[in-house]
Amino acid sequence: MISDMLDIRELRKTFGAGKVALDGVSFAVRPGEMFGFVGANGAGKTTTMRIVMGVLGADSGEVTWQGRSLGFAERRGFGYMPEERGLYQKMKVGEQVDYFGRLHGLSPAAAAKAVDELLVRLGLTERRGDAVEALSLGNQQRVQLAVALVHDPEVLVLDEPFSGLDPLAVDALAEVLQERARGGVPVIFSSHQLELVERLCDSIGIISAGRMVASGTVDELRAAEGERLRVVVREAKPGWADGLPGELTVAGDREILVVRGGDDQAILRAALEAGRVEHFGAERPSITEIFKEAVS
Amino acid sequence: MSHLLLVAGREVRAQVRTRAFVIGLVISVLVVGGIAFAPRFLGGPDSYTLGRVQVQELPLKALAPPDAEITWRAYDDEAAARAAMLDGELDAVLVPGNRVLTDGEIDDELGLLLQSANREAQIGASGVTITPLTMESVGADTRYQGARRGIATVVVLVLFLMIFSSVMMVAMGVVEEKGSRIVEILLSSIRPWQLLGGKILGLGAVGLINMVAIVAAGLTGALLSGVIADFPPGTTGIVLGVVAWFILGYAFFAAFAGALASLVSRQEEVGNVLQPMTLLVMLSYGVAFYDSVQPGSTVARVLSLVPPFSSMVMPVRTAAAEVPLWEVALSAGLMLAAVAGVLAVGAKVYERAVLRTGARVRLAEVLRGNKP
């Protein structure tokens, strides 16, 4: 069966002076999937995305889209937002987006139509005739996204699209991306805002020091991490949790025990004996916790 | 091809709309037009108003240049004539006793004219007739030497300024795109040669607009001032040649500059990385300038055949003196080949270097073909 995915396989890249940037990075993004790419600074996110876009060559490994390895013709159908934003500062917003549409092969009429729609969608209609340099950072970022979207790309590769945006702009951008994903486009984006990734993404890949340490759907990652039991006891007798598994933290007169596995009934009895139980329940780990766990 | 033109079109629009372009164009048109028109103020046809006090008019008309205007005014007494002259109404006053009164030292030309006319008149009065000498050149036609040198001086300056400024625009544009990483988006939709080629084409078109405007301003100025009558035959050919050489020279240096500029990521580094190109332009300019002042040197003759020097030296040579057609053809052929060569190598260097942001990329490394 021919894969309909964007498949990244065993990418390796070493820069000069023997610095290993990527050490066998593999993951796949399905059509219509929002893939959040997270990792510490310098972990290899940007390098991976640059290789996907052909801006950088890999030492080995392969990227395929719908079963075909990527060449210039395939990548022309991709939309890309590089980490360091690039726009012509003195060019007007409308003309700039139109220009990139034309470069991607749109006819003048199709480009004009796409520009109209996008500027409305991104709330830039009133800035259409302004030079990019006259715009706020947030608005420049919207223009950058418009440039990535103008040719109705088959695949979206976005490096830190949300960095530096206010919450309203984040929502506006997120909505546009989700809309594209619903239209069947695989969307890869990197971000340090883990709550945002958790809210938007179907799948997440965590990269650390050039290796993928975890990847899968949000549910899969949570399942892999396992459910945990969280118990909050108020005014507990000191030493009540000795002998019980898990981690105990103290916050004021509350003691919080987080346990993975173990006999929950025995723990409950111990807690009841120790003091006033305020909270007792199973808890799913947040992406932030999974991330910290994965990269530690 | 359509992408090349799209890129070129953007470059033209981006430049033509700037205030700097419009102001630059207006200034250069005014300056060049002014220079061409200036002889009218400086030389112009001579006109003299002379007074005479109870003496005959001297036959100045016969001796003066054909377009000179000579007016005589008769005065009854010397005092009246003197007063009129001191008021600036008269250039000189002829008074009895073969005396000429002037306000300060006499104009050289007028002095000579009066002396000759006086001599003629006195000899004529004694009954001797003089047959004037007829001048005839048996050597090369040097009638237009002065005009040719003047044209050559203007040509060398215009070529140098236009080529250099247009080429700098290419270099700065390349670094702008590389430094802002916009090149990463551009190169995921078009090929590197289309991006560099479109930029060279577009900025070349802008340069050509400037060039044509300047040439038109120069010719208009010359036409209005009447200087055009002094132009040697074949001036049209010289002017068209200059435009053609501008295109060749620009293409060579622009490809060279574009390739070198792709090695750096910051505008501050442009001057440094362009040094080899700047040196070549300066050398070409130096030799061309020398030839416009002192035509016919062996160095100029040799370098007018060697690219890229030929792009500036040959048009100056053809303006300054007659050059055999075969030399022009050979020089153009060699230059065309050099342009093709530097375009090919330049595009390769650009392709390999322009995505390698950060520190300056070493040219040797790029030429060896190390992939990013």
With beta carbons less than 8 A apart as the criterion, state whether A36 and A217 touch.
Answer: no
Q: Are residues A217 and A230 in the same domain?
A: no
pLDDT of residue B233: 75
Contact in structure between A196 and A165 (CB atoms under 8 Å): no
For residues A169 and A253, state if they share a domain: no
Are A127 and A268 part of one and the same domain?
A: no
Ranges of residues in chain A with a pLDDT under 70 are: 1-2
What's the pLDDT score for residue B139? 61
Residue linked to tokens 């990652």 = A221
CA atoms of B240 and B66, how far apart (whole Å): 33
Contact with chain B for residue A13, Cβ under 8 A: no
Residues B249 and B323 in one domain: yes
Does residue A84 sit at the B interface (CB-CB below 8 Å)?
Answer: yes
Do A157 and A256 lie in one domain? The reply is: no
- Nearest CB to B185; choose among A86, A90, A105: A86
Secondary structure of chain A in the HEC alphabet?
CCCCCEEEEEEEEEEHHHEEEEEEEEEEECCCCEEEEEECCCCCHHHHHHHHCCCCCCCEEEEEECCEECCHHHHCCEEEECCCCCCCCCCEHHHHHHHHHHHCCCCHHHHHHHHHHHHHHCCCHHHCCCEHHHCCHHHHHHHHHHHHHCCCCCEEEECCCCCCCCHHHHHHHHHHHHHHHHCCCCEEEECCCHHHHHHHCCEEEEEECCEEEEEEEHHHHHHHHCCEEEEEEECCCCCCCCCCCCEEEEECCEEEEEECCCCHHHHHHHHHHHCEEEEEEEECCCHHHHHHHHHC
Would you place residue B66 in the very low, low, confident or very high pLDDT band (cuts 50, 70, 90)?
low
Q: Are residues B103 and B230 in the same domain?
A: no
- Domain identity same for A236 and A205: no
CA–CA separation, A237 vs A233, rounded Å?
A: 10
Residue A40 and residue A150 share a domain: yes
**Is any Cβ of chain A less than 8 angstroms from the Cβ of B291?**
no
pLDDT for residue B143: 64
Are A233 and A254 contacting, i.e. CB atoms less than 8 angstroms apart? yes
pLDDT of amino acid B124: 80
User: Hey, how many other C-beta atoms are within 10 angstroms of the C-beta on A81?
Assistant: 24
Q: Which of A221, A236, A252 is the last residue of a domain?
A: A221
Q: Round the average pLDDT of chain B to a whole number and report it.
A: 85
In DSSP terms, A38 is beta-bridged to A206
Choosing among A12, A15, A50, A55, which should be mutated to test the B contact, i.e. which has the most B CBs within 10 A?
A55
Mean pLDDT of the B276-302 span: 88
**ipTM (interface predicted TM):** 0.81
**Domain membership flag for residue B320:** yes
Nearest to A129 by CA among A141, A143, A147, A111: A143
Q: Does the residue A1 lie in any domain?
A: no
Task: Looking at the structure, tell me whether residues A146 and A21 fall in a common domain.
Answer: yes
Same domain assignment for residues B10 and B148 = yes
Look up the domain containing A54 and give its range: 6-221
Interface of B with A in 333-362 (CB under 8 A): 355
Question: CA-to-CA distance for B113 and B62, rounded, in angstroms?
Answer: 10
Q: What is the tens place of the pLDDT at every residue in B215-244?
A: 888 888 888 877 777 777 777 888 888 889
CATH number of the CATH domain containing A161: 3.40.50.300
Contacts of B10 in chain A (CB under 8 A): 91, 99
Q: How many domains does chain B have?
A: 2
pLDDT at B137: 65
Q: Name which of B14, B181, B185 is nearest A100 (Cβ-Cβ).
A: B185
Chain A CB contacts of B183 under 8 Å are 86
Same domain, B51 and B30: no
Q: Do B93 and B108 fall within a single domain?
A: yes
Task: Flag if A55 and B189 touch (Cβ within 8 Å).
Answer: no
CA gap B189, A74 in Å, rounded: 10
**pLDDT digit string (tens) for B130-159?**
777 777 766 656 667 777 777 788 888 888
SS3 string, A17-52, reads: HHEEEEEEEEEEECCCCEEEEEECCCCCHHHHHHHH
List the strands of the sheet with A60-65, edge to edge.
Answer: A19-29, A6-15, A60-65, A68-69
The answer as to whether A87 is a domain residue is yes
The verdict on B317 and B336 lying in the same domain is yes
Residue B138: per-residue pLDDT:
67
Q: Which residues of B touch A91 (CB under 8 A)?
A: 10, 14
Is residue B132 included in any domain, yes or no? no
Query: Domain check: are B23 and B89 in the same one?
Result: no
Our count of domains for chain A comes to 2
Residues A203 and A17: beta-carbon distance below 8 Å: no
Q: pLDDT tens digits, residue range B99-118? A: 888 888 888 788 888 888 88
Same domain, yes or no, for A53 and A196?
yes
pLDDT at B370 over 70: no
What is the span of the domain harbouring residue B293? 2-39+144-368
Q: Quickly state the pLDDT bin for B207 (edges 50, 70, 90).
A: very high
Q: Is A86 on the interface with B (CB under 8 A)?
A: yes
A242 and A216 within one domain: no
| Residue B340 placed within a domain | yes
Substitution target in B177, B184, B265 with the highest count of A β-carbons within 10 Å is B184
Please tell me whether residues A155 and A241 are part of one structural domain: no
B114 Cβ neighbours under 8 A, 6+ residues apart: B58, B60, B92, B94, B100, B106
Chain A residues whose beta carbon lies within 8 Å of the beta carbon of residue B372:
56-57
Indicate whether A190 and A270 sit together in one domain.
Answer: no
